[in-house]
Amino acid sequence: MKTNVLKGALATVILLSLVAFTNSIEMKKIDIKKSQIEWEGEKLTGSHNGTIQMKDGHFLMENGELVGGEFIVDMTSIKVTDLEGDSKQKLEGHLMSDDFFGVENYKTAKFVINTVAKKGDVYGISGDLTIKGNTNPIAFDMEMDKNSASTTLVIDRTKYDVRYGSDSFFDNLGDKTIYDEFTLNINLNY
């Protein structure tokens, strides 16, 4: 009986030690209504810009520090903000077509944080970005405060099978050339 009491006490000590040294991970859900993603794409003769909406997302925090997260973007929400009327509708339709993001088959894009390194007031983040069914690693810096985070991403669209108008894949495009990289200015609130 004395052995059973000692085994029980030892098991209790081990369990309490594990609980005491286990840090709790807190999920900070993104407020998609207060968050904003603006995009800009350039071509040889100018540029276009617009917005796209978050569908879902969260940061994972441990002891107040960022340790992970996952974000889903609603690709069907692509809007053009620098044009009006028929030109706006035409470009939005083209961006949603298979020439660009193929939103009929790929309604969302996804980013998953794999690693985080704190660099002063900024986080260095690396993770996997999936657009149009293609996943590639991406790394960037992000500023974060108590209730918000912001970053600017420059994405090479050709890595995600978005090749329309790219002089990396097509010859003799002339002034119809669309640059391979596009920019996302991201402001997230949680």
pLDDT digits (tens, 9 = 90+) for 112-147: 999 999 998 899 999 999 999 999 999 999 999 989
> What's residue 18's pLDDT?
45
Decide: 142 and 127 in contact? Cβ < 8 Å. no
Q: Would you say residue 19 has pLDDT above 70?
A: no
> What's residue 8's pLDDT?
52
Domains of the chain: 25-189 (2.40.128.110)
- Per-residue confidence band for 167, with pLDDT thresholds at 50, 70 and 90: confident
Burial level of 74, CB count in 10 A (0-12/13-18/19+)?
A: middle
Mean pLDDT of 54-77: 97
123/101 Cα distance (integer angstroms)? 29
Q: Would you say residue 155 has pLDDT above 60?
A: yes
The lowest-confidence range among 23-27, 76-80, 99-103 is: 23-27
* Choice between 125 and 4, residue whose per-residue pLDDT is larger: 125
Strand partners, 143: 122, 150
Which residue, 66, 64, 53, 56, is CA-closest to 30? 56
32/60 Cα distance (integer angstroms)? 16
pLDDT digits (tens, 9 = 90+) for 142-152: 999 989 999 99
> What's residue 14's pLDDT?
53
163/180 Cα distance (integer angstroms)? 8
- Per-residue confidence band for 16, with pLDDT thresholds at 50, 70 and 90: very low
Mean pLDDT of 89-110: 97
3-state per-residue secondary structure call for the chain: CHHHHHHHHHHHHHHHHHHHHCCCEEEEECCCCCCEEEEEEEECCEEEEEEEEEEEEEEEEECCEEEEEEEEEEEEEEEECCCCHHHHHHHHHHHHCCCCCCCCCCCEEEEEEEEEEEECCEEEEEEEEEECCEEEEEEEEEEECCCEEEEEEEEEHHHHCCCCCCCCCCCCCHHHCEEEEEEEEEEEEC
